[in-house]
Amino acid sequence: MKIECLPVGYLRANCYVVSDEETKKAAVIDPGGNPEKILAYLEENGLSCDAILLTHAHDDHTKGVYGVMEPTGARVYMNRGDVGLTVRRTGLCFQEPEDTLFIGEGDVIEVGKLRFRVLETPGHTPGGLTFLCEDAMFSGDTLFKGSTGRADLGGDMNTELRSLKKLASLKGDFRVFPGHADATTLQFERDTNPWMKRGIEMAD
């Protein structure tokens, strides 16, 4: 598995191209802009994009969806909870493609020999997802290094804290690739992230 982080869009959100080096098939996670940059990386590395995975439907993670989907023929995967999500104060709403595949807890998406396991992690948005593949976690805006995503753009902070608790309860450690800023590890966040600690302390 190879993971390439491409900062894209007006907020420099992290788009990830995750590829199976044997089959050359790839998933693009959160194409939030600059589709030409994403397509160039795919072409330069001889990759075919088989899936576009969305951690959530905010526009800084979805602006490049059609620009990647149309030339590659890749299907879009997202959670139904973010359908019609309108970002408070901006009025922005992502219109998902007609053939979008809606996914939820426990689903598995196969791309080449890679298997992406789906976790529902709402809070930043109602339909927030986290994807696990081998030792990698793609956490969107649920878990950042030392922080968590804001909940005032269509989400709920108590729900987000419960999602952080859910991630903290996973067995073992993961490399964490968030929607913005630097990568981290799950164990480091368990030990140091004040928001995750608040989530861990929440009553079930």
Cβ atoms < 10 Å from Cβ of 137: 27
4-43 burial, b for 16+ CB within 10 Å, e for fewer?
bebebbebebbbbbbbbeeeebbbbbbbbbbbebbbebbe
Tokens of 147: 């922080």
Answer yes or no: is pLDDT of 142 > 70: yes
* 154 against 37, higher pLDDT: 37
CATH number at residue 81: 3.60.15.10
How many domains is the chain built from? Answer: 1
pLDDT recorded at residue 154:
77
Average pLDDT, the chain: 95
Percent of the residues in the chain that have a pLDDT greater than 90, as a whole number: 89
Question: pLDDT band for position 155 (50/70/90)?
Answer: confident
Range of the domain at 114: 2-201
Instruction: Report residue 23's pLDDT band, with 50, 70 and 90 as the boundaries.
Output: very high
* CA end-to-end distance (rounded Å), the chain: 35
pLDDT given for residue 53 in this prediction: 98
Q: What is the pLDDT of residue 86?
A: 65
pLDDT confidence band for 87 (50 / 70 / 90): low
Determine the pLDDT at residue 203.
72
The pLDDT of residue 88: 53
Cα–Cα distance list, 123 to 103, 127, 140, 154 (Å) = 17, 8, 11, 9
